[in-house]
Chains A and B, each alone.
Chain A
Amino acid sequence: MSGVRVLVGTRKGAFVLTSDGQRGDWTVDGPHFGGWEIYHVAGSPADPDRIYASQSSGWFGQLIQRSDDGGKTWDAVGNDFAYQGDAGDHLWYDGTPRPWEFKRIWHIEPSRDDPDTVYAGAEDAALYLSTDGGRKWAELTALRTHPTGPTWQPGAGGLCLHTIILDPANKDRIYVAISAAGAFRSDDAGASWLPINKGLRSGEIPDQDSEVGHCVHHITQHPSRPDTLFMQKHWDVMRTDDAGAGWREVSGDLPSDFGFPIAVHAHEPETVYVVPIKSDSEHFPPEGKLRVYRSRTGGGDWEPLTRGLPQSNCYVNVYRDAMAVDTLDPCGIYFGTTGGQVYHSVDAGDSWAPIVRDLPAVLSVEAQVLP
């Protein structure tokens, strides 16, 4: 029987949660790298036992850890994330120029077909590529040096490149998202980039038609429909059906369209999940009720999923990389909270249960299905 491995990054270490295909009984292993911030842990689709973890600390900086045995043992690999050439400036919060300065890796995206090829998204925003299993990293400079780069400003969490999507149908196509620059697409494997933010409306910037400056929180894609993307923006849930050429709002009847994560069902490309948060300054669920909202119509019409989730006095947040789906049938959904709970559903969201309740604040969740 197949199994499931859930990779959890937290403020104080990484945890590996495992179960068989029934997803009823779970083993919690960790903390790995106790005391370090683990922004993201991601496994290779080509080799599930190859796992990469972004390990960072305000004291000791950035490390990348690699496991070749499914998270049992780890080795520090390369951590030399240099900006190529004259790094130049971006805009600071107060509108003054600020030199690009590496702070951490937010997101790791392993290649779909080569365990040694892996992308990493940095704060301050840059995209890196390793083709030797994480030992050496090279910046794909065309993104940071895009003509709009000097106008990029950080969101409250920093000028972070937090989303990387490697298109399953076109090996040269990459999507990334940066807070608060927006979404970008490359059709030539990162050699050049196109801002794809038309249709986004952001009250926080003066020009609604601005090419960049939109605070995109997360983007997801169903592999069977690569030109359709779903986006949770700072405010608004959006979708595009033409690879980002234009976006339209699908927030519909959500109680709040602010939030961070967004995920799509593994087998139903029009079934989408979000976790509404009250507002940009109140990072907790509306009414103290932790509700995942599901749309089976690709957005617009949403239903609250509450069974098994706290419906009173709940004031946690769910971060942008902290929701994932597995590919079993029925589809499993997983998300982690700033309160340290990791919830899962084995029936596509109809009901939920905690796998573990008292971890450090959860930064990221990824799900792997094991052979």
Chain B
Amino acid sequence: MIRVVLPAHLKNLAHVSGEVHLEVAGPAGDDGGVTPRQVLDTLEARYPALLGTIRDRHSGKRRAFVRFYACEEDLSNESPDTPLPERVVAGQEPFIILGAMAGG
């Protein structure tokens, strides 16, 4: 089970509160682990309203002002096929999606 933390605006859009818990299935990543791409695929499949809000619908590229954190590391610029830390896969730490620090 993967724990996902969404920013407030995307929680509203998905009509959820608190963390989202996902059972991520599908092909394994490069090293046999669970990848951010799989997590996002699963997240968007469950909450279609999030399509296009985290990554481009066609290229799959992360939106410029969206960041991915886990285990106190910034994973935003990692390959989406790099396996997530074991503690995230084990549900001990969340995969955090957040809006970059920017005002307006």
Task: Write the nearest CB–CB distance from B59 to chain A, whole angstroms.
Answer: 11
Residues A63 and B53 in contact in the complex (CB < 8 Å), given A58-B104, A76-B13, A82-B58: yes
**B102 cross-chain contacts in A, Cβ below 8 A:** 58-59
A63 to B58, CA, bound (A): 15
Residues B50-89 near A (CB distance < 8 A): 51-54, 57-58, 63, 65-66
B99 within 8 A of partner (CB):
yes
**B13 cross-chain contacts in A, Cβ below 8 A:** 60, 63, 76
**A59 cross-chain contacts in B, Cβ below 8 A:** 7, 9, 63, 65-66, 99-100, 102
A248 to B13, CA, bound (A): 47
**B63 cross-chain contacts in A, Cβ below 8 A:** 59-61
**B10 cross-chain contacts in A, Cβ below 8 A:** 60
Report, as a range, how many residues of chain B touch the other chain.
10 to 19
Secondary structure class of chain A's binding surface, majority of residues: loop
| Contact call B65/A79, Cβ cutoff below 8 A | no
Question: In the complex, what residue of chain A is closest to B65 when comparing beta carbons?
Answer: A59
Mask, A52-74, CB within 8 Å of B = 1, is 00000111111100000000000
Task: Write the nearest CB–CB distance from B12 to chain A, whole angstroms.
Answer: 8
B49 within 8 A of partner (CB):
yes
**B51 cross-chain contacts in A, Cβ below 8 A:** 79-80
A36 within 8 A of partner (CB):
yes
Residues A60 and B58 in contact in the complex (CB < 8 Å), given A76-B13, A76-B49: no
Task: Write the nearest CB–CB distance from B19 to chain A, whole angstroms.
Answer: 19
Apart from the given pairs A58-B102, A60-B13, A80-B57, 14 other A-B contacts in the complex at a CB distance below 8 Å: A57-B9, A58-B65, A58-B104, A59-B65, A60-B10, A60-B53, A60-B54, A61-B52, A61-B63, A62-B52, A76-B49, A79-B51, A79-B52, A82-B58
Interface residues of A (CB under 8 A from B): 35-36, 57-63, 76, 79-80, 82
19 A–B contacts from the bound complex (CB under 8 Å): A58-B65, A58-B104, A59-B9, A59-B63, A59-B65, A59-B100, A59-B102, A60-B9, A60-B13, A60-B53, A60-B54, A61-B52, A62-B52, A63-B13, A63-B52, A76-B13, A79-B51, A82-B57, A82-B58
